[in-house]
């Protein structure tokens, strides 16, 4: 069976921080409401003129610097995003160009909403089956602030910008994936425009909340069933960081150990596709991940889509 492993992680978080108090000067909200409902304290936002490709390139460079692989040997660069700067050129083509990658390296963007990183890893696993000797660079990068309506308090407080990247390669150690799309295309939407004079992200919050809780649990159970493992065998669970309350609800419902579940939504808000790899990069930098650890990841988002992956660090 062909499997995938992560060689190194990289990340790029924009320096500009928007606190809850900053937002309360823009819309009718307050720190107490946002923290109580979401666990979010702040989010990072790209500066004027800074693009998705800028942060994607920095995250990619960081991951490559940390990997002992020659960038010229990359078979592909895949960028998961729903907030590209342009329809074309793709973010991946721009990053490919800026890094001066080998012309034979495939550059591909993938929009899997908040499951983007999981779906990009799944795609990478398929490509690795065709060419097991060449590593792949998986990037997840979002400039969500570019599609947010900063007059809509129900959505603008939830999201943030950021990018993370993983150099991946074939592995002999098994990895498992689950994925699904469950209708309800009206629950979360974002029109394909960037003029900023029309509504941006729209969301039926409570419906998404309920879906998220059942979806995360379904992905965890399916991955455990596939792998024959128990939740107690997993060192780390990394859920899509949309709302701390969703993760706490899942922990309680599963009777799980909260120490297994990493959470950084308080610092970044919801960075969509970037949220899971950003968490992984932070865990890696903090020395929380050790070779041999089992890491289970779950995503959910617009579509409504869901997905998960279980691999060995
Ligand atoms: N500040 C203050 N009040 C607010 C704010 C705000 N930022 N936003 C909404 N309110 C008000 C509403 O207007 C409403 O007021 P009313 O009672 O007078 O009508 C009240 O707060 C309650 O609003 P609800 O929407 O019912 O609040 P809820 O408890 O459901 O929390 C939230 C909203 C945080 C969005 C929650 O539903 C949630 O987290 N849903 C899941 C969101 C999610 O996971 N999104 C990820 C999507 S996938 C992706 O990443 C793209």
Q: What is the pLDDT of residue 58?
A: 98
Measured in Å, residue 166 CA sits from the centre of ligand 1 at: 32
pTM of the model: 0.96
CATH 3.40.47.10 positions along the chain are 3-171, 176-312
What confidence score (pLDDT) does residue 192 get?
Answer: 83
Indicate whether residue 38 lines ligand 1 (CB < 6 A).
yes
Give me the pLDDT at residue 128, please: 96
DSSP string, 205-242: HHHHHHHHHHHHHHHHHHHHHHHT--GGG-SEEEE--S
Beta pairing class for 202-203 and 236-239: unpaired
Q: Cite the active site residues.
A: 114, 240, 270
Point out the ligand 1 atom lying closest to the alpha carbon of residue 208: 41
**What CATH number is given for 176-312 in this structure?**
3.40.47.10
CA distance 257 to 150: 37
Q: Which residues of the chain have pLDDT under 50?
A: none
The pLDDT score that the predictor gives to residue 196 is 59
The protein residue whose alpha carbon is closest to atom 26 in ligand 1 is 206
**Whether the CB of 55 sits within 6 Å of ligand 1:** no
* CATH for the 3-171 domain, from 1.10.10.10, 3.40.47.10, 1.20.1250.20, 3.40.50.2300: 3.40.47.10
Pick the atom of ligand 1 nearest to 245's CA.
Answer: 39
Is 242 near ligand 1, meaning CB less than 6 Å away?
A: yes
Q: Which residues is 188 bridged to in the sheet? A: 203
């Amino acid at each position: 069976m062909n499997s995938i492993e992560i060689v190194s992680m990289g990340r790029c978080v924009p320096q500009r921080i928007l606190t809850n108090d900053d937002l309360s000067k823009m819309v009718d909200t307050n720190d107490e409401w946002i923290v109580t409902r979401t666990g979010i304290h702040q989010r990072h936002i790209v500066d004027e003129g800074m693009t998705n490709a800028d942060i994607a390139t920095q995250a990619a460079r960081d991951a490559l610097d940390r990997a002992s692989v020659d960038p010229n040997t990359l078979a592909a660069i895949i960028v998961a995003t729903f907030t590209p700067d342009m329809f074309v050129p793709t973010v991946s083509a721009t990053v490919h160009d800026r890094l001066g990658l080998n012309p034979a390296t495939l550059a591909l963007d993938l929009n899997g909403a908040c499951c983007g990183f999981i779906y990009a890893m799944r795609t990478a696993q398929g490509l690795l089956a065709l060419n097991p000797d060449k590593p792949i660079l998986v990037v997840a990068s979002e400039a969500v602030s570019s599609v947010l309506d900063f007059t809509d308090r129900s959505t603008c407080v939830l999201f943030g910008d950021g990018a993370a990247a993983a150099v991946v390669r074939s592995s002999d150690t098994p990895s498992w994936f689950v994925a699904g799309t469950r209708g309800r295309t009206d629950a979360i939407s974002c029109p394909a425009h960037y003029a900023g004079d029309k509504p941006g992200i729209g969301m039926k919050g409570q419906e998404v909340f309920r879906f998220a809780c059942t979806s995360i649990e379904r992905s965890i159970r399916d991955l455990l069933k596939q792998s024959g493992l128990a939740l107690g065998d997993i060192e780390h669970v990394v859920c899509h960081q949309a709302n701390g309350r969703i993760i706490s609800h899942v922990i309680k419902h599963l009777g799980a150990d909260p120490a297994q579940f990493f959470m950084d939504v308080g610092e970044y808000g919801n960075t969509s596709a970037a949220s899971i790899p950003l968490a992984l990069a932070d865990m890696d930098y903090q020395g929380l991940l050790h070779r041999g650890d089992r890491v289970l990841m779950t995503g959910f988002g617009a579509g409504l889509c869901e997905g998960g992956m279980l691999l060995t660090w």
